[in-house]
Structure 1
Amino acid sequence: MPEGHVIHRLARELNARFTGRDLQVSSPQGRFSAEASLIDAARIHHAEAIGKHLFIDFATDHPEHIVYIHLGLIGQLRFEPVEDVWGQIRLRIDNGEQAANLRGPQWCRLITDAEYDAAVAKLGEDPLRDDADPDALWARVSRSRRSIGSLLMDQKLFAGVGNIYRAETLFRLGISPFLPGAQLDRNELDSIWLDLVGLMADGVRDGRIDTVRPDHTPEAMGREPRKDDHGGEVYVYRRAGQPCHVCGTPISEQVMEGRNLFWCPTCQPG
């Protein structure tokens, strides 16, 4: 599932390429045709990401004017030439030069302002948003008996953080993923938050997740670059059994919150 930086990149591209322009909105697949007809020819007011959720606000007087998208595991929103009409396109936004084509989302809905408010109220603090509130996050994490590895995957707490950022941030800070939230001190949570802010901002800029520090890049270590579908240079994610870049200990793996958790037993004791 795409992590939050991917959704923020999509919102940024929509705002840059489609906002304020004359548009054609359709559903070639047909499953979103009725909703598309209500916003066809309307202009986009703005697009925004909150965690892994994308909202596209159309400038129209119709009560339902916000397209709400969650890509899920297989969904894609791709910016393609207008002549590229292939596959099962749930939603197509055409500016005459380029089209934003949505395929395979977990959901694509047309919602009202009230429904938008209700959806946003369920989401946690997004490290990529200026309106995020780390103090509110601390109030909840510090009372929890759940492990920090579990809490980081909770979208009602850390919106947009996924399996890669969970594993990499905890490794970079030397924090055990099994440490209960109630046993974290405020400095540790602040360090987690600031590291996520920086790593995820880099992800928005670069379009990939790189988490290794300069001393541990392939060039610095004289090792081969990482070869993985997810790309990017990482410390522990999907490196089970391979030596830690810092201490050489084999990376461990186990399932937590339905996802494979990766960590270094030596660098992250506890």
Structure 2
Amino acid sequence: MPEGHTIHRLAAEHLRMFGGRSVRACSPQGRFALGAARVDGRPLVVAEAFGKHLLLGFGDEESRVHVHLGLFGKYSFGTGVPPAGVSAESVRLRLEGEGGFADLRGPAACEVLEPGGVKRLLDRLGPDPLRADADPEEAWRRVRRSRLPIAALLLDQSVVAGPGNIYRAEVLFRQGISPEVQGRALSAEQWRGIWDDLVVLMAAGVRSGRIDTVRPEHMPEAMGRPPRVDDHGGEVYVYRRAGLACHVCGTPVRARELMGRNLFWCPGCQRAG
């Protein structure tokens, strides 16, 4: 599932291509035909991300088109005339304008939310480290009361909106915190370190379009090691590195399942005590 930095990049791309200009909207697949008809011909005036949720606003309406990519959703952007025929049959929502087109395929959610629905969506989300209006204390109030491991809390979108499995594993490594530590056992200083690091790492992801979490002194060129080769790209410390030596201490990285998700950590650098 795309992590929060990807959704912020999508919001920025929508504004770049369509912001302030009327767009043509349709649903070649047919499953969002009524919603597309509702915004067709209106200018895109709002495109913003809240965690893993994209909200698009058109014209002077207070309703929003809500998109959640889920596990299989993806966007493709292009210039010129969008593809037709068989290639369009899987497109849930297509936006077209002078700057090009955006095709949405396979989302977990693509719907029109009225203002009340938007409020209910945002009310169930925790603060987003990539938003200027985020309040880390709101997340801390939930973390410090919880008996759940911090690794589980960081994937709970009602606690922090945006981080996924990669950012979760990497920020805990960088802060030297065991994923098993209960939320209530963290100090306020430790939580602030996690939050501040998420802000830095995720903002870098927005700029580059990939997740890189390794400090300069541990990059391939600094250590004389080959670069990471993985579909997700980016240099990381522990994510998908089970059994390999930690870049910092040499201890084999470990992995196990926690609440249905793979968890990666270094027992040498992330001691429970």
**TM-score interval (norm. to shorter):** over 0.9
For 1:229 and 1:22, locate their aligned partners in 2 and report how far apart those are by CA, in whole Å. Answer: 36
Question: What residue in structure 2 maps to residue 44 of structure 1?
Answer: 44
Question: What residue in structure 2 maps to residue 134 of structure 1?
Answer: 136
Q: Deviations over 1:91-144 (max 9, x none)?
A: 001013310110010110011111111111110110000111111111111111
Instruction: Give the secondary-structure state (helix, strand or coil) at the position aligned to 1:227.
Output: coil
For 2:132 and 2:210, locate their aligned partners in 1 and report how far apart those are by CA, in whole Å. Answer: 21
Instruction: Give the secondary-structure state (helix, strand or coil) at the position aligned to 1:135.
Output: helix
Q: How does 1:232-243 map to 2 (within 5 A)?
A: 232-243=234-245
Q: CA deviation at 1:14?
A: 0.9
> In 1, are the aligned partners of 2:17 and 2:99 still within 8 Å (CA)?
no
Question: What residue in structure 1 maps to residue 69 of structure 2?
Answer: 71
Please point out which of 247, 250, 253 is paired with 1:248: 250
Question: What residue in structure 1 maps to residue 19 of structure 2?
Answer: 19
Q: CA deviation at 1:46?
A: 1.0
Question: What residue in structure 1 maps to residue 114 of structure 2?
Answer: 112
> In 2, are the aligned partners of 1:174 and 1:268 still within 8 Å (CA)?
yes
Identity percentage of aligned residues: 54
Please point out which of 180, 186, 189 is paired with 2:188: 186
TM-score normalised by structure 2 residue count: 0.96
TM-score normalised by structure 1 residue count: 0.97
| Bigger mean CA deviation after superposition, 208-217 or 14-23 | 14-23
For 2:3 and 2:128, locate their aligned partners in 1 and report how far apart those are by CA, in whole Å. Answer: 11
Question: What residue in structure 2 maps to residue 28 of structure 1?
Answer: 28
Instruction: Give the secondary-structure state (helix, strand or coil) at the position aligned to 2:217.
Output: helix
Question: What residue in structure 1 maps to residue 9 of structure 2?
Answer: 9
Instruction: Give the secondary-structure state (helix, strand or coil) at the position aligned to 1:16.
Output: helix
For 2:34 and 2:144, locate their aligned partners in 1 and report how far apart those are by CA, in whole Å. Answer: 46
Question: Structure 1: which amino acid aligns with 2:266?
Answer: C
Q: CA deviation at 1:84?
A: 3.2
For 2:155 and 2:37, locate their aligned partners in 1 and report how far apart those are by CA, in whole Å. Answer: 37
Instruction: Give the secondary-structure state (helix, strand or coil) at the position aligned to 2:212.
Output: coil
For 1:24 and 1:82, locate their aligned partners in 2 and report how far apart those are by CA, in whole Å. Answer: 14
Question: Structure 2: which amino acid aligns with 1:134?
Answer: P
Question: Structure 1: which amino acid aligns with 2:160?
Answer: F
Question: What residue in structure 2 maps to residue 208 of structure 1?
Answer: 210
For 2:3 and 2:185, locate their aligned partners in 1 and report how far apart those are by CA, in whole Å. Answer: 27
Q: Deviations over 1:65-94 (max 9, x none)?
A: 310000001101121124232241100010
Q: Deviations over 1:132-185 (max 9, x none)?
A: 111111111111111100100100001001000000000011100000010000
Instruction: Give the secondary-structure state (helix, strand or coil) at the position aligned to 2:238.
Output: coil
For 2:191 and 2:7, locate their aligned partners in 1 and report how far apart those are by CA, in whole Å. Answer: 24
Q: Across the two proteins, how many residue pairs are aligned to each other?
A: 268
Question: Structure 2: which amino acid aligns with 1:22?
Answer: S
| Bigger mean CA deviation after superposition, 208-217 or 13-22 | 13-22
Residue 85 of structure 2 corresponds to residue 83 of structure 1: no
Q: In angstroms, what is the RMSD of aligned CA positions?
A: 1.0
For 1:94 and 1:181, locate their aligned partners in 2 and report how far apart those are by CA, in whole Å. Answer: 46
Question: What residue in structure 1 maps to residue 158 of structure 2?
Answer: 156
| Bigger mean CA deviation after superposition, 234-243 or 28-37 | 28-37
Q: CA deviation at 1:22?
A: 2.0
Question: What residue in structure 1 maps to residue 263 of structure 2?
Answer: 261
Question: Structure 2: which amino acid aligns with 1:84?
Answer: P
Q: CA deviation at 1:60?
A: 4.2
Query: What are the ranges of 5 or more consecutive residues in structure 2 without an aligned counterpart?
Result: none
For 1:223 and 1:84, locate their aligned partners in 2 and report how far apart those are by CA, in whole Å. Answer: 43
